[in-house]
Amino acid sequence: MTHPQATIAALRERFGEAVENVSEFRGEVTVEVRRPALVEVLRFLKETPALGFTFLADLTASDDWPVEPRFSVVYQLRELTQPANLRLKVHVPGDDPVLPTVTGVHLNANWQERELWDMFGIKITGHPDLRRILMPQDWQGHPLRKDYPLGYEEVEFTFNFDEIEQKKPYAKE
pLDDT tens digit sequence for 109-131: 999 999 999 999 999 999 999 99
| Domain 3-167 in CATH 3.30.460.80 | yes
Domain boundaries, the chain: 3-167
Please state, in angstroms and rounded to a whole number, the distance separating the CA atoms of residues 78 and 59.
Answer: 12
Considering only 32-36, 78-82, 91-95, which range has the smallest mean pLDDT? Answer: 78-82
**pLDDT higher than threshold 80 for residue 158:** no
Q: Which residues of 95-129 are buried (b: 16+ CB within 10 A; e: fewer)?
A: eebebbbbbebbeebbebbbbbbbbbbbebeebee
Q: What is the pTM of this model?
A: 0.85
CA of residue 101 relative to chain centroid, distance? 14
User: How many other C-beta atoms are found inside a 10 Å radius of the C-beta of residue 141?
Assistant: 10
pLDDT in tens, 89-112: 999 999 999 999 999 999 999 999
109 Cβ contact partners less than 8 Å away, ≥ 6 residues apart: 56, 59, 101, 102, 103
**pLDDT higher than threshold 80 for residue 166:** no
| Closest to 59 measured CA to CA, from 7, 120, 4 | 120
Do 114 and 133 touch, CB atoms closer than 8 A?
yes
Please state, in angstroms and rounded to a whole number, the distance separating the CA atoms of residues 40 and 18.
Answer: 10
By CB atoms closer than 10 A (0-12, 13-18, 19+), residue 54 is middle
User: Residue 168 — very low, low, confident or very high, per pLDDT cuts 50/70/90?
Assistant: low
Question: 23 pairs with which residues across the strands?
Answer: 30
Please state, in angstroms and rounded to a whole number, the distance separating the CA atoms of residues 95 and 68.
Answer: 9
